[in-house]
Structure 1
């Protein structure tokens, strides 16, 4: 698990419709081998910009790693992924963005941490810059060119998904209107993704409800009692007078 929290892995801009296609294949009952083969053929014609054109195997192969968050996650993430897939069955493709967000966040915490830094900046100002996000993320992952490059691809993925909007000045971004997540059970699954993205595997419920990494979403208020009733992978720990901690249960 620790290795997952240290890796970067976002080596190119990820288009949402690539994620959609992956889930559609899973819902159709295709095997991991079949999905890999289909993605291999599909992605060689898909540019990062969202257009079409031939790409080299080394380039498009990098995208498959992110897409495995859905069809071949780490073993400890399989129950979480299975519940996310259950939600996908009941939602339209247009409503899958929160599911893709949490699936990537759990498998690639770097994505979650970029969102957290962006969200923190948006709490202070209406526009943010690449330089501001990169400066904060380098404090966590180190001052390496690969960190800045992966961070840039992550931010550009946010733009491609409509989470961020390019501002007039190059390298500046504004946030889009938040996506409402009305289903409390889906919100709990989002909280679980945050716990997977956190190396300690535990976060106070109040901090989850207002987590800056969820800046693209509007979440409902949820009680600790409701969490304990609806998700058996999370432990609800009460401390102090009114504080509640959510903890990933040990396998």
Structure 2
């Protein structure tokens, strides 16, 4: 039985540098003291540092029980392919861990699909519909967008009024491709049509170039099922 995910949780700006320092600890290529040094350099006050560490702990250092294997596999991919932008695995882990982060990503992906940009006010409006119209929702949505910008997925313009997609990262690695698809499945919490995997809004920063139907059919963590001759779905094996 899966434990309940935190409702919001991702309530701080998280720079790619801080997240990568935590990931390196998870991957066994750095020590916790190295992360503390990076956080020291950020000049946090005591409360801000504690809250930032809480997000980093949940993201990489102390993931929820059902995400430990997923985090370990993400860290192994990062370690095996040092040329890969670390933000790629940060994105997958954040989407799988934090529904709030995933919802912002999904909305930006949907709203910017046609023209490559969207109004941040529209993202805020739709987040408020789900999480309530309160100052915290607005502020935390801004924190997620700011983080996504630092991770190289989007750019904010017109004093933050518009959000532009940046060029997607081309993903040509089979292992990483399936790992990102697993993130989308964990966020969705339900099977997804294989035909929709290439265009999942929550994965908008990535161009998945590999044969997705073949990859998901041959992955030990995923299961494919059919609903008619032309409708195939993929799901997490532990959710079936």
**TM-score, scaled to structure 1:** 0.85
Q: Is residue 210 of structure 1 aligned with residue 203 of structure 2?
A: no
Judged with a 3 Å threshold, the aligned counterparts in structure 2 of structure 1 residues 20 and 169 are, in CA distance, closer, same or farther, namely closer
Judged with a 3 Å threshold, the aligned counterparts in structure 2 of structure 1 residues 127 and 226 are, in CA distance, closer, same or farther, namely closer
Residue equivalent to 2:28: 28
5+ unaligned residues in a row in structure 2: which ranges? Answer: none
Residue equivalent to 1:3: 4
Contact 1:44–1:57 under 8 Å retained in 2: no
**Partners of 2:71 and 2:145 in 1: how far apart?**
24
The structural deviation recorded for 1:99 is: 0.7
1:214-233 alignment, distance < 5 Å: 214-229=203-218, 231-233=219-221
* Cα displacement string for residues 59-107 of structure 1 (whole angstroms, at most 9, x for unaligned residues): 1222222222212111111121121111111112652221111011111
**Partners of 2:179 and 2:236 in 1: how far apart?**
12
**Partners of 1:168 and 1:60 in 2: how far apart?**
30
* Cα displacement string for residues 133-174 of structure 1 (whole angstroms, at most 9, x for unaligned residues): 111122222222211111110001111122111224542221
**Partners of 2:37 and 2:160 in 1: how far apart?**
34
The structural deviation recorded for 1:210 is: 0.8
Contact 2:15–2:150 under 8 Å retained in 1: yes
**TM-score, scaled to structure 2:** 0.89
The structural deviation recorded for 1:186 is: 1.1
**Partners of 1:72 and 1:228 in 2: how far apart?**
30
Judged with a 3 Å threshold, the aligned counterparts in structure 2 of structure 1 residues 167 and 76 are, in CA distance, closer, same or farther, namely same
RMSD between superposed Cα atoms in Å: 2.1
The structural deviation recorded for 1:2 is: 6.5
1:1-251 alignment, distance < 5 Å: 1=2, 3-4=4-5, 7-28=7-28, 35=32, 39-40=35-36, 42-46=38-42, 54-68=43-57, 69-92=59-82, 95-198=85-188, 200-229=189-218, 231-250=219-238
Residue 180 of structure 1: SS of its match in structure 2? strand
**Partners of 2:139 and 2:232 in 1: how far apart?**
37
* Cα displacement string for residues 115-147 of structure 1 (whole angstroms, at most 9, x for unaligned residues): 110011111333322211111122222222211
Residue 78 of structure 2: SS of its match in structure 1? helix
Runs of 4+ in structure 1 off by over 6 angstroms are: none
**Partners of 2:29 and 2:175 in 1: how far apart?**
25
Residue 125 of structure 1: SS of its match in structure 2? coil
**Partners of 1:25 and 1:124 in 2: how far apart?**
39
Aligned residues between the structures: 237
